């Protein structure tokens, strides 16, 4: 069985799970963990989208 | 009374120092278990699900698993990342999974998923150690 993820869904899954681990391990209180996890998620996924558009512009 | 209190403190210290060894070891073998044996149940389960899912998805995407090697520097770094997944890495090697060539983009993503899962588990192990020594709640 081969799982076929699109580039975006692979980036989404990666950002989601990496952010959960970062949130838990890098902050002390539950509230801070959630906030930092969300921040990492937005940065991961936002960074991928921005980099994608930057490459699209460079290609033109 | 004083002796009893002092004895209890020593016992607690001994238990804490033992936990500082056991928690990281168990956490490396099973992601999140280092937190669970210290009664951080929710954090442990979230770590297990996150790291476990990344690793399994990597395998399902036909990712490549690195064995111990003395060759290319990227292969060595890949091995260091993979070995962080602990028990999952051992089972994968034992079952001879993840041995195919990286033939397409998704397989390359899968390879990276497994390496990152291992590296994230190293962070989780360090966190379990910090909890055990009282540096973190």
The range of the structural domain enclosing residue A32 comes to 10-59
Cβ atoms < 10 Å from Cβ of A17? 25
Does residue A24 belong to any structural domain of this protein?
yes
The C-alpha atoms of residue B61 and residue B101 are separated, in whole angstroms, by 12
- Mean pLDDT, to the nearest integer, of B98-123? 92
Does residue A54 belong to any structural domain of this protein?
yes
Best of B31, B43, B112 to disrupt the A interface (most A CBs within 10 Å) is B43
Cα distances (Å, whole numbers) of residue A16 to B23, B54, B70 = 25, 10, 34
User: Model confidence over A7-60: pLDDT tens digits?
Assistant: 999 999 999 999 999 999 999 999 999 999 999 999 999 999 999 999 999 998
Best of A12, A15, A24 to disrupt the B interface (most B CBs within 10 Å) is A24
User: Model confidence over B61-79: pLDDT tens digits?
Assistant: 999 999 998 789 999 999 9
The number of domains in chain A is 1
B120 touches chain A (CB under 8 A): yes
Nearest Cα to B100, choosing from A60, A9, A49, A1? A1
- Residues with Cβ within 8 Å of B120's Cβ and at least 6 positions away in sequence, in order, are A17, A18, A21, B50, B51, B54, B84
The C-alpha atoms of residue B116 and residue B58 are separated, in whole angstroms, by 10
Q: Is the dihedral of CA A11, A13, A14, A15 positive or negative?
A: positive
Q: Name the phi and psi angles at B98, rounded to 5.
A: 65, 35
Nearest Cα to B112, choosing from B71, A2, B120? B120
Q: In whole angstroms, what separates CA B74 from the centre of its chain? A: 21
Return the structure tokens found at A14.
């990666």
Q: Is the dihedral of CA B72, B73, B77, B78 positive or negative?
A: negative
Does residue A3 belong to any structural domain of this protein?
no
Q: Collapsing DSSP states into helix, strand and coil, what is residue B37?
A: coil
Does residue A2 belong to any structural domain of this protein?
no
List CB contacts (< 8 A) between B46 and chain A.
20, 24
Cβ of A14 within 8 Å of Cβ of B60? The answer is no
Cα distance between the two ends of chain A: 37
- Interface ipTM above 0.85: yes
What is this structure's pTM? 0.91
| Domain assignments of chain B as residue spans, ordered by start | 13-132
For B:71-100, CB contacts with A below 8 A are none
User: Model confidence over B19-63: pLDDT tens digits?
Assistant: 999 999 999 999 999 999 999 999 999 999 999 999 999 999 999
pLDDT of residue B1: 45
Length in residues, chain B: 137
B64 touches chain A (CB under 8 A): no
B124 touches chain A (CB under 8 A): yes
Does residue A5 belong to any structural domain of this protein?
no
Does residue A26 belong to any structural domain of this protein?
yes
- Mean pLDDT, to the nearest integer, of B88-95? 96
Residue B5 has pLDDT above 60, yes or no: no
Cβ atoms < 10 Å from Cβ of A15? 19
């Amino acid at each position: 069985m081969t799982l076929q993820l699109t580039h975006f869904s692979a980036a989404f899954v990666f950002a989601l799970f990496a952010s959960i681990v970062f949130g838990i391990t890098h902050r002390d209180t539950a509230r801070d963990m959630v906030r930092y996890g969300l921040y990492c998620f937005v940065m991961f996924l936002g960074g991928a989208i921005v980099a994608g558009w930057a490459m699209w512009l460079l290609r033109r | 009374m004083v002796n009893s209190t002092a004895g209890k403190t020593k016992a607690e210290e001994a238990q804490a120092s033992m936990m500082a060894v056991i928690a990281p070891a168990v956490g490396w073998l099973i992601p999140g278990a280092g937190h669970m044996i210290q009664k951080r149940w929710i954090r442990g389960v979230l770590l297990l699900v996150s790291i476990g899912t990344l690793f399994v998805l990597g395998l399902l995407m036909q990712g490549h698993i690195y064995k111990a090697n003395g060759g290319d520097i990227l292969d060595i770094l890949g091995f260091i990342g993979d070995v962080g997944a602990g028990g999952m890495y051992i089972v994968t090697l034992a079952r001879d999974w993840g041995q195919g060539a990286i033939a397409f983009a998704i397989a390359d993503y899968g390879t990276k998923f497994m390496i990152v899962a291992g590296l994230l588990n190293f962070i989780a192990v360090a966190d379990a150690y910090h909890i055990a020594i009282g540096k973190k709640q």
